[in-house]
Structure 1
Amino acid sequence: MDIRALRYFQTVAESGSYSRGSELLRISQPAVSRTIRNLEDELGRPVFKRHGHGVTLTEAGKLLLERSQLLLRQIEQTKAEIRSGHAGLSGVISFAVPPAAGHFIVPPLVERFGQAHPHVFLKIVGGFSGYIHEWLVRGQVDLACLHDPVPQRGFEATPLLNEEVFLVGRPGALGTGGAPVRTEDLARLPLILPSRPNASRRLLDKWTAERGISLSAKVEVDDTTITRALLRQGVGFSLLTRGSVEDELSRGELEIRSFAPAAYWPFALITCQNVPRTEAQQVLIGKLSETVQEVVRDLVRSGVWRGEIPEP
């Protein structure tokens, strides 16, 4: 199977059309179409369903995308190891993290890991928990951070911290004095919440159910950028970590209140054990995992990141 054909296929699959795929590849659309047609002939089955707005994957295409993503990453890793030509760690490793947590973790992580392992290329991917879980299963990322990961066979979870959650709203909308918010007060507030089964919504439902509180969302939004815009307009309130609104807080556009008692969301480091990896890749994942844990501990102990380090 031609590696070039797999790259063309992956690009078209991810972009959703032959025209956008050819633009990204900087290759003519007929050439891309011809290459993928040859790939389909070799497989004996179509990999795309064509429609007026682009293409979608067939069942065969979904399987090929899942396997080819892992294969192409392994090829990339192998090239990096061979080209380095020196002793010590080298290669490519990818790390996925939710945007709010990445605000804290990524800058010191890139600096610290880069100094310790200068010949390792670190690829950072930001995304929400549902996407990150899928990337782990497919082998698109090697290591990831998730809020409240559901225990699942084949996944290894290392607790990092219990991250404090705040009630967020427009300045002045929460009243004066800065007193902590009581949990029961949430029942009377217009709330902007993510839809189920979002990890943060799942945690919120569990937390309020334990306290006998029933919440009613004024609006459900699964994009934190939109949520922050609604908060700035004074549409309602939301429950978020500090990292989610750090920029707005610094500009005085939003304010936060802690809860009484304080509320926390568990945050963990995840790897998928079902993805085949070389010994060199396993070593890289171990080194990156150690560095992530060191960075998180330092951020919490210094007070930069509000949370509690779980007991070993």
Structure 2
Amino acid sequence: MDVRQLSTLVAIADHGTFSAAARSLYTVQSNVSAHINRLEKELGVILVDRAHGGLTEEGARVVERARRVLNEIDDIAADMASRHEDVSGQTRLGVIGTTARWLLPQMLSRLGRDHPGIRAVIQEGATSALVPNVLSGQLNAAIVHLPIDDPELVIEPLFAEDLFLLADEKHPLASRDTIPLRDLDQVPLLLPPMGSALRKVLERAAVNADITLRAQAEIDGVRLLASLAFDGFGAAIVPATAVPTWLKGSFVRISVPELPRRVVAFVRRRRPSPSAPTTAALEILQDLIQLNGHKQPGVHPGTSAIAPARGD
């Protein structure tokens, strides 16, 4: 088993066919076939379903580990290339969409200026999708929101942000600037799905207030939640960064004092240690949040990331 064989199998997983994998690897299809045949012979299993296309169950399991191996090799090369002042190499970062919208343009600009040798590969997604990719090694780290409870992860809070009720100006609640959480008992709301990090925060607050949150619909994705509220489909509880500072329209933000702040954090695997490019990216993120976080309405950098609920 060698790196070329693993790279070839991953390319087939990513591109679907032997011919497409060959093009992505800048080689010919016969080389792709030869690498896969040798890997299958060595492992004693069929990895690629030639009849129907795609990977077999065994192939998918091997690809999962192969990605981790290949990423670790990249990180080794990045660390060795960054032994001195100039940091170079690749960092693979995940980020939730609401944070990406205001923070990534600043981070990528600063990263390109301070460390031109670093290449950032960004994956946007929900916390529930990003955390498994960090644990599997597909991502070096991710910006997600808490709560997360996994002993394999190092969690470094970045900032906290207020949660509020977002509604179209024609919604029955739109005339109110502030609403107690108890007044939302059994009110139809657009909510994140059960089990998601944000829903856990909301359900905990509801239990403390002795109310029941009623889902008009469950929407997986904070930006989609906000968009539906903008369009008048219903009221949604969203974090502050779900509403960009530049956005104008016929909507209102309604304060719910008993809601806690949502904590956004940088997470990475406990072992191995983060690569030099990943460490550089984290340092830039922390610096930018301290410098500019207060410019984002409802964002609280620094120690306020672990502040109690506003109603306490």
Mark yes or no: TM-score above 0.5: yes
Q: Contact (CA 8 Å) 1:166, 1:263: kept in 2 or not?
A: no
Give the match for residue 281 of structure 2.
288
- 1:164 offset after TM fit, Å? 0.9
Within the candidate set 231, 247, 263, 1:250 is matched to 247
**Aligned pairs (5 A) from 1:64-143:** 64-77=62-75, 88-143=86-141
- 1:236 offset after TM fit, Å? 1.4
User: Match of 1:270, SS?
Assistant: strand
Larger deviation, residues 231-240 vs 126-135: 231-240
Alpha-carbon separation, structure 2, partners of 1:306 and 1:136: 25
User: Match of 1:144, SS?
Assistant: strand
Give the match for residue 54 of structure 2.
55
Letter in 1 for 2:268: T
1:297 and 2:287 aligned: no
User: Match of 2:169, SS?
Assistant: coil
1:41 and 2:38 aligned: no
Alpha-carbon separation, structure 1, partners of 2:143 and 2:170: 34
Q: TM-score, normalised by structure 1?
A: 0.82
Give deviations 1:241-293, integer Å, cap 9, x for gaps. 1322328x71415432221245311221211013x35xxx5443333222211
User: Structure 2, unaligned stretches of length 5 or more?
Assistant: 307-312
Alpha-carbon separation, structure 2, partners of 1:21 and 1:174: 54
Q: Contact (CA 8 Å) 1:179, 1:257: kept in 2 or not?
A: yes
Letter in 1 for 2:13: A
- 1:100 offset after TM fit, Å? 0.5
Q: Contact (CA 8 Å) 2:177, 2:253: kept in 1 or not?
A: no
User: Match of 2:87, SS?
Assistant: coil
C-alpha spacing 1:183/1:87, structure 2 compared with 1 (3 Å): closer
Aligned length: 304
- 1:170 offset after TM fit, Å? 1.7
Q: TM-score, normalised by structure 2?
A: 0.82
Q: Contact (CA 8 Å) 2:168, 2:251: kept in 1 or not?
A: yes
Alpha-carbon separation, structure 2, partners of 1:226 and 1:50: 39
Give the match for residue 241 of structure 1.
239
Letter in 2 for 1:243: T
User: Match of 2:264, SS?
Assistant: strand
- 1:223 offset after TM fit, Å? 3.5
Alpha-carbon separation, structure 1, partners of 2:72 and 2:95: 21
Give the match for residue 18 of structure 1.
17
Q: Contact (CA 8 Å) 1:80, 1:92: kept in 2 or not?
A: yes
Q: Contact (CA 8 Å) 1:96, 1:127: kept in 2 or not?
A: yes
C-alpha spacing 1:251/1:5, structure 2 compared with 1 (3 Å): farther
Moved over 4 A (4+): 19-24, 26-35, 48-52, 77-87, 174-178
CA RMSD of aligned residues (A): 3.2
Amino-acid identity (%):
22
Letter in 1 for 2:12: V
